[in-house]
Structure 1
Amino acid sequence: MKLETERLILKPPVAEDMDAIVAVANDPWIAEMTLVPHPYLQRDALAWIARAKEDWEKQNHGGLAVFTRTGMAFVGAVGLRATEDPGVASAGYWFSPAVWGRGFATEALREILRFGFEVVGFNRIEARHVMENPASGRVMEKAGLRHATPQDLPARDGDGMVPGIVRHLTASEWRELQFSPA
């Protein structure tokens, strides 16, 4: 399984990707803005790789490692996970601070939304971001996630809640959107 965009390749992570995943995911800025644990260790990468493999085998969707088409550099992760609500998925992503502001997150999120709606057949896809990370909200808006609702989200350390935003898009709204390549 592999998805491709103009500049990116999205594929399920494998054990050979572990060192690159750890090197990028261990950046404290990623932990500050996401639910990714810090420090991010080899066992965390191996757990994510195993979970992604299982999800893809059982559900035909899950986590994807994101690489640049030029040079195959690992730059981040994106994925879909079905929620308890039938026909609804949650999208998530994180990217290396070295590539922030270059549109990679938007490009990858658009592709995972396309895949979720057009291939898997979800009726609605949502994504969340903490209030402290408005840049992630802008990525979601550029990707087409139209509706925003304030909602408390679990804190990264599992201790309490933090202010956040949940954004969503429906399959019919997705069909209405026309995107030019990023």
Structure 2
Amino acid sequence: MVELIGERVRLRELLVSDVALIHPGASDPRVVRYMSWGPNDEAATRAFVERSIAAQSLDPRPQYALLIEALADGRFLGMTGFDPVPNEPGHATMGYWIEPDEWGNGYATEAAKLVVRHASSDAGITRLTAAASVDNPASHRVLEKGGLTRVGPGTFTHENGTVLEAVLFERRA
């Protein structure tokens, strides 16, 4: 079971009961505005949590989904994690989202640093990549402070088929 502790946040793997914590953010258009998925209905959030829990026991793991909690009081802050890229050993993509009431408090940056460290030191990831919407400079800063380097323009595709312009980031071990 993965648990990562920072100065102010704790990242932990998901439990079935976390659907109730995750769904409000996963269904909030403000939260998912720059994501490749959502907004989710409750069935989609539940399916994500169930897939994430199932992935915890697989080897190799297809996904590392981690809940972000405040270390001081355990309140839910958001989600983060990384997904190994199929047929590209050592390569994974990372992502995150934070509850709107917690934006601007540095929690995403702290979580990103923990994910980068875990991916490279414990999960065998030698190339970690991320894509952030060109319209989301706050995420650009989070990824750079988290240890990734801006590598250029690119795109990502929303689950509905819409292609979005992005800035690509990378960290190599």
TM-score by length of 1: 0.87
Q: What residue in structure 1 maps to residue 44 of structure 2?
A: 44
Counterpart in the other structure of 1:23: 24
* C-alpha distance in structure 2 between counterparts of 1:17 and 1:141, whole Å: 29
Q: After superposition, give the CA deviation of every residue in 1:38-92 in whole Å (9 maximum; x if it has no partner).
A: 1x33212211111211222113551011111122111110011111311111111
Code of the aligned partner of 1:72: G
151, 159, 162: which one pairs with 1:160? Answer: 162
Aligned residues: 169
The answer for the alignment partner of 1:174 in structure 2 is none
Aligned-pair distance for 1:33? 2.0
Counterpart CA distance in 2 for 1:8 and 1:114 is 14
The residue type equivalent to 1:136 in the other structure is S
Distance (whole Å) between structure 1 residues aligned to residue 24 and residue 97 of structure 2: 13
Structure holding more helix per residue: 1
1-side partners of 2:90 and 2:74: how far apart? Answer: 33
Q: Deviations over 1:118-173 (max 9, x none)?
A: 0112111011111111111110011110132211211x3523311111100111xx
Whole-Å separation in 2 of the counterparts to 1:74 and 1:52: 17
**In the TM superposition, what whole-angstrom CA distance separates every residue of 1:7-60 from its partner, at most 9, and x where no partner exists?**
11111111111111112222221121222311x332122111112112221135
Instruction: Give the ranges of 4+ consecutive aligned residues of structure 1 lying more than 6 Å apart after TM superposition.
Output: none
Which one of the candidate residues 69, 72, 79 is aligned to 1:70? 72
Unaligned runs of 5+ in 1: 172-182
Deviations 1:77-111 (A, max 9, x none): 00111113111111111111111111100100110
In structure 2, distance between residues paired with 1:41 and 1:8:
27
Structure 2: runs of 5+ lacking an equivalent = none
**Post-superposition shift, 1:113?**
0.6
Rate the CA distance shift 1:158–1:24 in 2: closer, same or farther, 3 A. Answer: closer
CA distance in 2 between partners of 1:147 and 1:21 (Å): 29
Q: Aligned ranges for residues 17-166 of structure 1 at < 5 Å? A: 17-38=18-39, 40-58=40-58, 59-60=60-61, 62-84=64-86, 85-154=88-157, 156=158, 158-166=160-168
SS at match of 2:89: coil
Q: Which amino acid aligns with 2:55?
A: D
Q: Which residue pairs with 1:179 in the alignment?
A: none
Q: What TM-score, normalized to structure 2?
A: 0.91
Q: Quote the sequence identity (%).
A: 27
- Taking only aligned residues, the RMSD between alpha carbons, in angstroms, comes to 1.5
